[in-house]
Structure 1
Amino acid sequence: MVSLHPLLDNGITKGDPSFPGGVLYCQCATDPVAVTLTSNVAHNHACGCSRCWKPAGALFSIVGVVPRAHLSVTANEPKLRVVDPGATIRRHACAACGAHLFGRIEADHPFKGLDFVHVELGAGKGKEGWQEPQFAAFVSSIIEQGFDPASIGGVREKLREVGLETYDCLSPPLMDLIATYTAKKSGALK
């Protein structure tokens, strides 16, 4: 089986509910972008959508939210670029390494005021304190990216084995059919 995500493949490490936050860094060896969070995240989850940043080889990203007031760019902000200015979530990524440091919603939206972050980009002692993933979202979306629809049941099973419930807008079999249709139409699946 392929990697769900390095933070999931060997089980989930429980976070600390009183974790005060920390610093996230892009993956540049020199002059990394730094983003400081002054609180823990909420709603941390595995996300299968095609827009979230994922480590190489992983099917899912791990993304949580933090109130906008608790996030600040504290080093090398000029390196940040918005990946897709027309997207609802404007993902701010390092132009050099491509890592997404945060996603911000500017439009009128239920999640406006929350920034989306990848706490795995944290460093140093205490990195394990971030809230652990709570659920898996957009599981069917990995099919739209070329994942074999016949194997999606195994992915859901593995997610449940590590303790994550899987979610989609409709029942999983219906979402798989919709995603398979979309993937075939786009050419991601033959």
Structure 2
Amino acid sequence: MPSQVSIHPGLDRGVKAGRADFNGGTLVCACTERPVKVGIKGTVFHNHACGCSKCWKPEGATFSVVAVAPHENVTVLENGDKLKVVDPTALIQRHACIKCGVHMYGPVERDHAFKGLDFVHPERFQEQGWPEPTFAAFVSSIIETGTPPAAMAGVRSRLRELHLEPYDCLSPTLMDVISTWVAKKAGTLQE
């Protein structure tokens, strides 16, 4: 019997598998008038549930759902005048709608292993079939947003029920990408 711990309204009834032929679409903010629309060419990668305190989360969500796309595949289509960077000092330059608050895309522009990637919330696609989340990142961070530490075992158990392996940082693959980038920059790993 599944746990009653709520993760995200779009995941609580089970993680729906994406379509192998998903080829992008349009992200739409929550505004009913002049919604911001952002086009994504191609698919998204590394989709995951994120517990960090910086990601946008819909009402009732403990975790966000976030993935990445190459920056050159992301284009503001409509009402870009409503976008503002949430925190100009952050690594991820989250562009949010100033009316509804939805984070539409977040490029990494400074020198980092993720430079050239934009973070997006695939649940905002108007199209169905985007790749499903495959892990949970920054799980411990939900304590920072009010989850009692005593609830964490239940949260991790629920994530595993949903087949989202919980990590207190990123998945091993993404941590390897970061460490490889750091080693190459330091000269300890040759290309």
Please give the range of the TM-score, normalised by the shorter of the 2 chains: 0.7 to 0.9
Unmatched runs of 5 consecutive residues or more in structure 1: 171-190
Q: Report the 3-state secondary structure (helix = DSSP H, G, I; strand = E; otherwise coil) of the residue aligned with 1:140.
A: helix
Q: Pairwise mapping of residues 1-190 of structure 1 onto structure 2 (< 5 A)?
A: 1-123=4-126, 126-127=127-128, 129-169=129-169
Report the aligned-residue RMSD: 1.2
Aligned equivalents of 1:64, 1:160: Cα separation in 2: 19
Verify the 8 A CA contact 1:2 1:58 in the aligned structure 2. no
Aligned equivalents of 1:155, 1:2: Cα separation in 2: 6
Per the TM alignment, residue 169 of structure 1 is displaced from its structure 2 partner at its CA by 4.2
* TM-score of the aligned structures, taking structure 2 as reference length: 0.85
Aligned equivalents of 1:164, 1:2: Cα separation in 2: 14
C-alpha distance after superposition, 1:26-79 (max 9, x if no partner): 100010000000111100000000000001121000000000111100000010
- Displaced runs of 4 or more, over 4 A: none
Verify the 8 A CA contact 1:2 1:57 in the aligned structure 2. no
Report the number of matched residues: 167
Verify the 8 A CA contact 2:5 2:154 in the aligned structure 1. no
Identity of aligned residues (%): 57
Verify the 8 A CA contact 2:137 2:169 in the aligned structure 1. no
Aligned equivalents of 1:19, 1:169: Cα separation in 2: 28
Unmatched runs of 5 consecutive residues or more in structure 2: 171-191
Letter in structure 1 aligned against 2:37: A
Letter in structure 1 aligned against 2:132: E
Q: Report the 3-state secondary structure (helix = DSSP H, G, I; strand = E; otherwise coil) of the residue aligned with 1:45.
A: strand
